[in-house]
Each structure stands twice: as C-alpha cells, then as structure tokens.
C-alpha cells in the first residue's frame, strides 16, 4: 500500500503542530508502507522510506489582487502545482486547508480514497478574517468541501470530533479519533543549557515557559497580562514569533510594554521561532509550561513539555482536556466566562488571574512540580507514542482500500 500526504508544512519549513504531526507520522508510516509527501517548499529528498517533494509557494499571478485575498489564491495555485506529477498512491491524506484542494482533485482525477485529518476548524478561528479577509471565506469553503468529500475523517481528539459534529453535517461513523503523538526518544529531558545562555535565561531560577506563535488562538497576550500576578522570583520566558498579523503583533508589543512600565523585570521575550533542540532545552529547564490557548484541537506543545519532564498549566479547552490530567500532570484552567465567539469567550482579567493562580501553585511547591513532571512524562510515553498512532492510521487506510 502507498499513501500520498499533502501538506503545507514539512521540515525544514514547520511553524505549527500540523507540520510536526506530518513529520513524525510520515516517518512512522514508512515502516509500514510506501510514503510520499508533497508539500510547500523546495524539498527534494528520499530519506528512510519517505519521498518528499516540495513545491515553491506560488506568488506573482495575483500580485494585483488585495494581499488578504491573494494568499488564498496563491495557495490554490500551489495546490495545482503539486499535481504536476502523476498520483500513483492507494490513499491520499490531507493536512490543513492549505492542502485540501490537492486531495480533492486527486480523489476526483484518480478515483482514490481521501482521508482528511482535522488539526483545527475554520469556524472556530473567526479571528483569521483579520489575516485573510474574504480569503477566510475561501479557506472555510475548501475545508467544508474536503470534509464532505472525504472517505474518512481523522479527529486529533474527542473534543475535535465533537466540534466537527457541531459545525458540519457529517456522518459520525466517518470520523475516527486518532491522537497526535510525540517522539519520546527526541523530546526528553536534557541538561544542556546553551540555548538558555544564548537568550539570557537563568537556569538556576524558576522558569514559566511559553513556546508558540503569536496568534489569538494561542492566547499569549493573556499570559503576558498574567505576569503581574506571577511570583516575582520566577522568570516568564516567551518563545514567541511568527505573528499572524501586524495588529496582533502590536497588541503583544503593547502588553509587554505595560509589564515593563510597571517595573517588572522578570519577562523575557524571545521574538523568534526556536529550533527543536533549543525548544527541548527550554522545556527541560522550565518549572512550569503554560499554554493559554482559547482554542486548541489537541495542543502538541503540552505533550512536548510533558515528555521533557515539565508540569503544565493549560486552558481547559478542546484536546488539552485529554492531554493534561488536571491535578496530576498539571492544571487545567477553565474559561468560565465563555459567551459568544472563541476570541470573545474569555474575560481577560479573570483568565489572566486564574492562569497566574495555577502557575503559582506549581512554583510554590517544588515537590508538586516534580510529581506532576514525572506523571506527565510517564503519560507521554505510555499514551502518545507514534508507533501506535501509525498502526491506527494504517488500519483506517486498509479499511478504505478494502
């Protein structure tokens, strides 16, 4: 059996959880079947059974169209480019809306089953209209079309499956829950501190860590606003880059400026995306990792922190509730002020205080921090290994081919 994975992200061009997912899933599937990956980029490799071909992101054809719209049009043009070579797979598997058109056309042109993994849902990310304008309606349309045409849909958590059924008219029998995973041989505790030294982080002091993009979905501004409530002897380290829009970057800069104007010197903002090795060092030396997302289908960053022996404080949303065991591997922080749409669902002051309260519980009790870190690492090893996830995916593929 051969599977063709379509994705925007693939190493070395990975900026989010979907790219991490495809990287490790493809490597593990290659132990079980033939694997081909077509992605956005300039990759052209064949390593350990994974054939990878990148296609440069198309730019120029829509240069005279509004920039918020040209992004979606450029994406579709790149999708067409990925079909420049014949498709000879038994299964085609798509990841994120950026690659859905490639999968849809492959199904139609070559009469092969289409599998669609839901890493997030456009109806639950309305803030993307700031980034894409009318392109958001286009991304929503292609996602809806792909879900309807897919022969099987993979949800990365039970919470994600519930969201799919709430927002789309899809037969529940078509949806299978298969979790994201973690490479525990790679994500593990290290004593190395070169990355901390590079960015001015003191490994001898308590560390509250965030790793991720600057986007409304990740809720990072709420963590910045929580700094004034967090123990002053702890360093709050934000490894945060790749802002979605100029507006969200400006909000982040203003929030950080307010903290510093208040005389708080314990905030360290690293304005770039860390390498994998650097992130592992940060996870390993953090006292507590904080994930303040207001929407999170799975939250692989929490799993990365757990695998590196770190307690986690995260918002109680989506798949996070299935990854972080409240009171055992960390704390879940409820968003009790939920009212309207996702980006309006949280009372900022209440949520920031609640984040700080849970973070301080871990900081104030080293024995608790250690027990949570140990329990989290054990859970990462036992529940979220990639070999099991690849086997589940293979069985799904086989059911479609048969």
Does the structure show a pLDDT above 80 at 176? yes
Q: Which residue intervals of 150-199 are DSSP H helices?
A: 158-167, 194-198
pLDDT in tens, 302-355: 999 999 999 999 999 989 999 999 999 999 998 865 444 445 556 788 899 999
Confidence of residue 282 (pLDDT cuts 50, 70, 90): very high
Q: Edge-to-edge strands of the sheet including 2-7?
A: 44-47, 50-55, 34-40, 2-7, 91-95, 114-118, 152-155, 175-177
- Look at residue 336 in the predicted model and tell me its pLDDT: 61
- Look at residue 349 in the predicted model and tell me its pLDDT: 86
- Look at residue 295 in the predicted model and tell me its pLDDT: 87
Does the structure show a pLDDT above 90 at 288? yes
Whole-angstrom distance, CA of residue 325 vs CA of residue 294: 18
Render 43-82 in DSSP notation, one character per residue. -EEEETTEEEEEEPPP-STTTTS-HHHHHHHHHHHHHHHT
Specify the range with the lowest mean pLDDT, choosing from 158-172, 247-261, 315-329, 332-346. Answer: 332-346
| Coil/strand/helix, residue 262 | coil
pLDDT in tens, 88-130: 999 999 999 999 999 999 999 999 999 999 999 999 888 788 7
Query: Cis peptide before 189, with omega less than 30 degrees from 0?
Result: no
Residues of the chain with pLDDT > 70, as a percent, come to 97
Whole-angstrom distance, CA of residue 7 vs CA of residue 5: 6
Kindly list the structural domains of the chain, giving each domain's residue range(s) and its CATH number in brackets, ordered by start.
Answer: 2-181+385-401 (3.40.50.2000), 194-383 (3.40.50.2000)
- Look at residue 339 in the predicted model and tell me its pLDDT: 46
- Look at residue 63 in the predicted model and tell me its pLDDT: 85
Whole-structure pTM value: 0.82
Mean pLDDT of 141-149: 97
Does the structure show a pLDDT above 50 at 47? yes
- Look at residue 74 in the predicted model and tell me its pLDDT: 93
């Amino acid at each position: 059996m051969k599977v063709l994975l379509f994705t925007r992200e693939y190493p070395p061009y990975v900026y989010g959880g979907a790219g991490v997912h495809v990287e490790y899933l493809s490597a593990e599937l290659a132990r079980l079947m033939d694997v081909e990956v077509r992605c956005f980029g300039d990759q052209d490799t064949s390593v350990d059974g994974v054939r990878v071909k990148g296609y440069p992101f198309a730019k120029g054809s829509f240069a005279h169209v509004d920039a918020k719209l040209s992004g979606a049009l450029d994406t579709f043009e790149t999708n067409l480019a990925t079909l420049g070579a014949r498709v000879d797979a038994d299964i085609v598997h798509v990841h994120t809306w950026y690659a859905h058109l490639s999968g849809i056309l492959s199904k139609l042109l070559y009469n092969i089953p289409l599998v669609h993994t839901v890493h997030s849902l456009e109806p639950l990310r309305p803030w993307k209209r700031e980034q894409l304008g009318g392109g958001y309606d286009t991304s929503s349309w292609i996602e809806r079309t792909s879900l309807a045409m897919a022969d099987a849909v993979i949800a990365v958590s039970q919470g994600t499956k519930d969201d799919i059924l709430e927002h789309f008219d899809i037969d529940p029998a078509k949806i299978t829950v298969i979790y994201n995973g973690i490479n525990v041989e790679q994500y593990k505790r290290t004593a190395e501190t070169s990355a901390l030294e590079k960015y001015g982080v003191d490994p001898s002091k308590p560390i509250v860590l965030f790793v991720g993009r600057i986007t409304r979905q990740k809720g990072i501004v709420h963590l910045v606003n929580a700094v004034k409530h967090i123990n002053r002897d702890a360093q709050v380290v934000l490894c945060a880059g790749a802002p979605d829009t100029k507006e969200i970057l400006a909000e982040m800069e203003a929030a950080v400026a307010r903290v510093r104007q208040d005389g708080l010197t314990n905030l360290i903002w690293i304005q770039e995306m860390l390498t994998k090795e650097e992130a592992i060092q940060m996870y390993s030396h953090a006292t507590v990792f904080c994930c303040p997302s207001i929407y999170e289908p799975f939250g692989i960053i929490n799993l990365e922190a757990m695998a590196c022996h770190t307690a986690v404080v995260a918002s109680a949303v989506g798949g996070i509730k299935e990854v972080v065991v409240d009171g055992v591997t960390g704390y879940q922080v409820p968003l009790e002020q939920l009212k309207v749409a996702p980006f309006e669902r949280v009372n900022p002051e209440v949520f920031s205080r609640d984040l700080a309260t849970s973070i301080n519980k871990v900081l104030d009790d080293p024995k608790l921090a250690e027990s949570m870190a140990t329990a989290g690492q054990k859970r990462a090893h036992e529940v979220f290994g990639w070999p099991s996830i690849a086997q589940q995916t293979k069985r799904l593929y086989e059911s479609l081919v048969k």
